[in-house]
Structure 1
Amino acid sequence: MTADPGDDTRTRILRAALDLFAEHGYQRTSLRQIGERLRLTKAAILYHFPAKEHLLSALVEPLLVDLEALLDTARTQPVEQARWTVLEGWVDVMLAHRRPLGMLFHDIALVGRGDTYHRLMEVAMRANDLIAGPDAGRRERVLATQAVAACSDPIVFFVDVSDEVLRADMLDGVRRLLAPAATDAAGPSGASTADRRRRPGRPRALGREQVETARRMHAAGTHSVDAIAATLGVSRATVYRHLDPE
């Protein structure tokens, strides 16, 4: 990452740390290496960040600030609106911080149990409460926790998927997870009659976000129908069906 001449020393240190952590990993990157990249002494680094884990805390800070602002907005809304404000906003925040989040995924625990750790836990608990809704039972709270994971984990594991496609897939998945129809006609196993009859394989339909993504990709002329089908994990016939004007 090229440093902006207008950056102050602290910002330059964070940029260099992010680059080196991405190249070598947190554990194998020393403060001396960061200083050498910037032509600064180790003492100069320690002036801004008294320990290496403070760099991790500072890199996580923008993510935390954005999530806290999102939850502050959602808490003033009606229950159902708040739920989807959190879920859609959570995906957008994760995508906005995609590079540091992916790079720091295995190192965030090294922040320790200080202020950053407690803020992360508080953010997660607030999100779960807003998604589950008031007077939620165990099942609703479990689903809320799963929904947050569905809006977070794919960011780390699908690094080669574009923001647009990944956002559509993640929101489609969480809608399916929380859909009230999922519990209709449930048998003793908890699966609905329709689910028990459905055979595994490619999904036969696209969610709203995926339909919009398919149409944008097709309209741009950069992807064939085969490529769109492969990206979204459906058949060519499914793509053609959704590309037809309604």
Structure 2
Amino acid sequence: MRDEEATPQRILAAAGALFATRGYRATSMNAIAEQVGITKAALYYHFSAKDDLLHRLTEPLLEELEGALEQAEAHDDPERVRWSAIEGYVDVCLRHREALLLLVRDMTLLVQAPVGERFKAVIALANDLVCGPDRRLEQRVRAAQTVASLGDPVVLFPDAPVAVLRELILGGAHALLDDRGGGWPSGGGGLEEAAGRTGSPAGGRRGRSRGREGGRPPALSDEQSVTVRRLYGEGHAVDEIAERFGVSRATVYRVLKN
């Protein structure tokens, strides 16, 4: 590899290491240049700002998470959607441990636009897919617990063998969701009554999401995207917006993160 091609990779490696140890905001472009052994001017030749470095370091993680969840949503059966989303989420996190560690270790990055908004949109979609069509509070809380448990072990045990860690994480997800008993606890009592089935669409069911083979358009026009952002800002739910435009929830989340 020619030096002019290798330099950006050296810069990214140095930036990733410094962001992970010092924190994103505490790392200067000058520190990155010194770490690589180049001038600050040479660094700016390859990357115009520190945000560009952050984008390049986190893009593969976020892109693959979005893709895995969109692929999961294409299934018709809620259980297949749920477990495809869980397994895909875990596999992507394991492939991109360093980027995930970077995001989680420096919590200020979770409010760094657009990376923070994009990451929050991924989490929201994962929660939605794991929850499934039953939107009672009990199920939504259990789904949120499950999604939170998928990435944390990847960060906390970075030296654990991938295959072993994957099996343990998925085993924990099954335990949380009580999969052996049919997927979800029956509720029936305090929690169900307290929740009052809040958040459920009319009739207690949500329109089934469909992927590219399900007849929904894969994208929205610029004008529709503006309307989507306006509706979301006014408090309309993602499910409602997706149903209105005949697209998947993943499509709506992609519009909202841009």
> Does TM, scored on the shorter chain, surpass 0.5?
yes
| Structure 1 counterpart of 2:72 | 74
| Structure 1 counterpart of 2:53 | 55
Contiguous gaps of at least 5 residues in structure 2:
193-258
| Structure 1 counterpart of 2:37 | 39
Q: In 2, are the aligned partners of 1:53 and 1:111 still within 8 Å (CA)?
A: no
Moved over 6 A (4+): 184-190
Q: In 2, are the aligned partners of 1:35 and 1:41 still within 8 Å (CA)?
A: yes
Is 1:123 paired with 2:132? no
Q: Percent identity?
A: 41
**Cα pair distance change 1:51/1:108, threshold 3 Å:** farther
| Structure 1 counterpart of 2:185 | 183
| Structure 2 counterpart of 1:99 | 98
| Structure 2 counterpart of 1:193 | none
In structure 1, C-alpha distance between the alignment counterparts of 2:118 and 2:73, rounded to whole Å: 17
Q: For this pair of structures, how many residues does the alignment match?
A: 188
Q: In 2, are the aligned partners of 1:86 and 1:131 still within 8 Å (CA)?
A: yes
Counterparts of residues 129-168 of structure 1 (less than 5 Å): 129-168=128-167
**Counterpart code for 1:72:** E
Q: In 1, are the aligned partners of 2:72 and 2:84 still within 8 Å (CA)?
A: yes
In structure 2, C-alpha distance between the alignment counterparts of 1:52 and 1:23, rounded to whole Å: 16
Q: In 2, are the aligned partners of 1:70 and 1:89 still within 8 Å (CA)?
A: yes
In structure 2, C-alpha distance between the alignment counterparts of 1:186 and 1:9, rounded to whole Å: 61
Q: In 2, are the aligned partners of 1:57 and 1:111 still within 8 Å (CA)?
A: no
In structure 1, C-alpha distance between the alignment counterparts of 2:123 and 2:54, rounded to whole Å: 19
- Between 1 and 2, higher relative CO (CA 8 Å, sep ≥ 6) is seen in 2
Q: In 1, are the aligned partners of 2:61 and 2:96 still within 8 Å (CA)?
A: yes
In structure 1, C-alpha distance between the alignment counterparts of 2:27 and 2:2, rounded to whole Å: 22
Q: In 1, are the aligned partners of 2:81 and 2:130 still within 8 Å (CA)?
A: yes
CA RMSD after TM alignment = 2.9
In structure 1, C-alpha distance between the alignment counterparts of 2:25 and 2:173, rounded to whole Å: 34
Q: In 2, are the aligned partners of 1:70 and 1:86 still within 8 Å (CA)?
A: yes
In structure 1, C-alpha distance between the alignment counterparts of 2:38 and 2:96, rounded to whole Å: 27
| Structure 1 counterpart of 2:12 | 14
In structure 1, C-alpha distance between the alignment counterparts of 2:137 and 2:66, rounded to whole Å: 25
- 1:18, CA displacement in angstroms? 1.6
For residues 217-244 of structure 1, what are the alpha-carbon distances to aligned partners after superposition, in whole Å with 9 as ceiling and x for unaligned? xxxxxxxxxxxxxxxxxxxxxxxxxxxx
In structure 2, C-alpha distance between the alignment counterparts of 1:118 and 1:105, rounded to whole Å: 14
